[in-house]
Every structure is written in structure tokens, then in C-alpha cells.
Homo-oligomer: A and B are copies of this chain.
């Protein structure tokens, strides 16, 4: 045997794969992991532990799971617990009701009937209650989390056989997974800027302007909106959503609404309006013609169950023949049943009068009032610093303050091949152990620099982190001015 050419090597990969960048949030999460290891190996640093403030991972940063959801999951995992007296009756009844609809009564069966029919019916009723508008369960598809849903839906829209590449419009800033997913699907990112001066609101003129410019290089088909906003913490107004729907009709775009933070709304006067609700309320021709896709997830909100992987997609004004193909595609990646039943708890939680209702409501209130308090603290503490300007967060789990970067730091960053805010975050990490995400990972207006601060750490811890950021930014300004 002569030494053969190996078949699977870095060189053998397709360009689409080779071009994929390092993980979300890039070099910072890589360096954070290294610092963690160095600390474990006894390295002496100016800090004793990392303060992770870069990930939207609620349980990892101290949010407690929803008791009722976990009780139902435990009961369905080990049904012998139905005989024990440690669970409230409604958790037992919920578990029994779910297990009756499972093949062989087991979460260990594939359960295509549960995930593609029973559960979509419950999700549809949740959407109807939320929106006061009808929802056909056949338009709802359960997925293993929102990310996977985003990938599969965007991939469906892209048709690489067409002469012009598909353009997919995403805001700047936005959750960093979008550009990677869009590139992976063979489409083109078309950025539109949110309006930082108006609290990160949607701005139809910005969308229109970037659409016109994009039509020269691609065929824009989809307008993605994240509401409540990651990383902005913006909760879009009803009027703002209506304006975007009108625009989508005018320029013929499919609307993709990433509404995974819909439970996380805490700003005074802010309320979540789903695109579906506003669309239905606008009536014909909009309600009949606009193609809308909306995603939701168990990973955020009061549940924060990122690790269980549960989510769903609702399709509006899209032909069932398209879902048929999506179902077949998704048969290669079936939703897991425990994540799916967690989704059932999200859409059908304890009701007034149920034994678990009090605990459930209290847990929800705790999550939301903590987020509100932390958003307030973030705005207050960061805006004290001369070089930091912070819009109020009304929802989601982040704040996206703008930071000033002095000239010498800009030059140093450039010399290291880094974005200026990435350079700032690296320096902050080495000096304080605080891990933030740099604004450049999310997209931002030319010449501006930001950091994303997650509102997840406990109040006291976050307060310390914020004070240290302010202090560090001050010394950073002095050092590099």
C-alpha cells in the first residue's frame, strides 16, 4: 500500500465550510476558555475567577429552572415517581396527560405524532391566546431549539440555482449567528442599521436604503427582525412593527421574526407585540399576502432551558406543500422529546387555581423583576462614565452600550488585526476577568464601538461587574489618549 491521498482533510472541504469563522463571539470566547484553564492550573492573575457576562445562558449564570417544568420532565423521565408524594397533583396530571399521547407512553420513542401533531395543536392554542387571532396547527413545526429552526428555514428560502444570490436582510446590530447561518446557506448578508439615537428602534428608511443598494448584487428575499432585540434590549413598538410590515409589502420581502425573547419584557410601558398579531390586526391585503415566519424557544424567558433544545416555528401565508418538504428535511434531525415536552409547559403553563400556579408566577416575577432591576442598574452605572452611553434595555437579556475608544487604542488594535472594541474587551478580560462580547461581533454603524453586557448575573455580581467596567474604561481612556 503506497501512502494514499487522504479523502477528508482541511483542503478537501468545500469553500462554504472552510470559510466558516471561529465560533460565535470569536477570539474572546476562545481566550476566556484559555484564561479559565490558566486559572485552574494556578496562574496568578489580577482576579481570582472569570465573570462571564458574554453569553445568553440563563442557568449557567444563576437563573433557577422553572420548578413545574422540571417536575414534569422528571416524572416523564421516570414514571415510577407518579407514586411518590413529592410532586404536586398538577405536575403529575400534566405528566400523565403527556405520557398518554406518547408512543408506548415513553419519552424514549421517536414520537412523530406527538412532535408533529399533538404539540403543534397546543402551540397553536397558545399563539391564538397570545394574539387573539387564529393559528392553524399545521402551520407550526416543532424544532430542536430556535437556532436549528433559523438554519432550516433560511436554507429553505435560498435557491442556489437562481442566477442572483439570495439576499437576507439582518439588522446591525443583531445576534451574531445570523451572518454565519446566512453564509452557510449560500446567501448574502444585507445589513440595515437600527436607530441608536431612538433607543435602537427599527428604521424603515435605513431598511429601504440598504435594500436599494443590495439589489445590485443580490436578490433580497427575507427581512429578519429580532424583537425583543438581541443585543439591543429594545422592545419594538406596535407602530414600528406595522411600519415594517407595510414596507415588506411594498418591497416584497418575506418577514422572519426572531421572537425568542417574547417572555423577557420588563421595561416600563413596553409590551410584546408579535408580528403575527399586528399582521392580523392590519387585515387584508397584508394579513393575506405577507409571508411571515416566526420562531420561539424554551431557551430564554422565565424558562431559560437552553440545554433542553426546544423551539417552534410558525408559518403564515406559506403553502403547506413547502412544509411537507420541511418535514422530510427535519426527519433527519428529529426534535428531542424532553425538550418538546418542556415546550408544552411553555405554551400550557399552570393556571390560576392549580397547585403550582403560585410558585410558577412567583418564579416568573422574580426573573422579570430581576432583569428590570439589572437593566436599570446597567443604564445608571454605565451612563455615569463619560465615554460610555447606554440606551435603556426594555426586554431580552442584554444591554448594548456604546463606548469611546481613544486613538492610540484604535491604532494598537489595527496593528493586532483586531476590531477596536474587541481589543477593549481583550484588555478588560486580562485585567479584570470580565468577559464581554464586542460590538463588532454584532454589527454596528461605521466608526461606532459597543460592548454587549448580559443582564444575567445576580444583581450584586452584575453591579460589581458594571463598576469595574466603568473603572477600567476610565483607565483605558487615560492610558491610550
Could you list which residues of chain A lie within 8 angstroms of chain B, going by C-beta atoms? 1, 3-10, 12-15, 17-18, 20-24, 55, 57-63, 65, 70-71, 73-75, 77-78, 80-81, 84, 86, 102-104, 106-111, 144-145, 147-148, 151, 156-161, 177, 180-181, 184, 221-222, 249-250, 252-254, 285-286, 289, 291, 303-309, 317-319, 321-322, 325, 327-329, 331-339
A344 to chain B, nearest CB (A): 14
Given contacts A144-B144, A177-B332, 9 further A-B contacts (CB under 8 A): A1-B250, A8-B291, A12-B159, A14-B160, A70-B78, A74-B78, A106-B307, A108-B303, A184-B332
Roughly how many angstroms separate A309 CA and B336 CA in the complex, as a whole number? Answer: 6
A449 to chain B, nearest CB (A): 25
Q: Check A57–B333 contact: CB distance below 8 A.
A: no
Q: Using Cβ atoms and an 8 Å threshold, which residues of chain B touch A61?
A: 104
Roughly how many angstroms separate A13 CA and B23 CA in the complex, as a whole number? Answer: 29
Q: Check A17–B156 contact: CB distance below 8 A.
A: yes
A180 to chain B, nearest CB (A): 7
User: CB < 8 Å: which of B86, B148, B328 contacts A23?
Assistant: B328
**Known interface pairs A148-B332, A177-B332. Does A77 touch B74 (Cβ–Cβ under 8 Å)?**
yes
Question: Chain A contact residues: over half helix, strand or loop, or mixed?
Answer: loop
Q: Using Cβ atoms and an 8 Å threshold, which residues of chain B touch A318?
A: 6, 8-9
A397 to chain B, nearest CB (A): 14
Q: Using Cβ atoms and an 8 Å threshold, which residues of chain B touch A180?
A: 328, 332
Q: Using Cβ atoms and an 8 Å threshold, which residues of chain B touch A306?
A: 108-110
User: CB < 8 Å: which of B9, B249, B338 contacts A322?
Assistant: B9
Q: Check A161–B308 contact: CB distance below 8 A.
A: no
Roughly how many angstroms separate A304 CA and B124 CA in the complex, as a whole number? Answer: 31
**What are some 29 contacts across the A-B interface (CB < 8 A)?**
A1-B249, A4-B289, A6-B291, A7-B252, A7-B254, A8-B156, A8-B291, A9-B321, A10-B319, A10-B321, A17-B325, A18-B325, A57-B104, A59-B104, A61-B104, A74-B75, A74-B78, A102-B307, A108-B304, A110-B307, A144-B333, A144-B336, A145-B334, A147-B333, A307-B338, A308-B338, A336-B336, A338-B338, A338-B339
Q: Check B309–A144 contact: CB distance below 8 A.
A: yes
Q: Check B322–A8 contact: CB distance below 8 A.
A: yes
Roughly how many angstroms separate A21 CA and B111 CA in the complex, as a whole number? Answer: 21
Roughly how many angstroms separate A315 CA and B156 CA in the complex, as a whole number? Answer: 30
A244 to chain B, nearest CB (A): 14
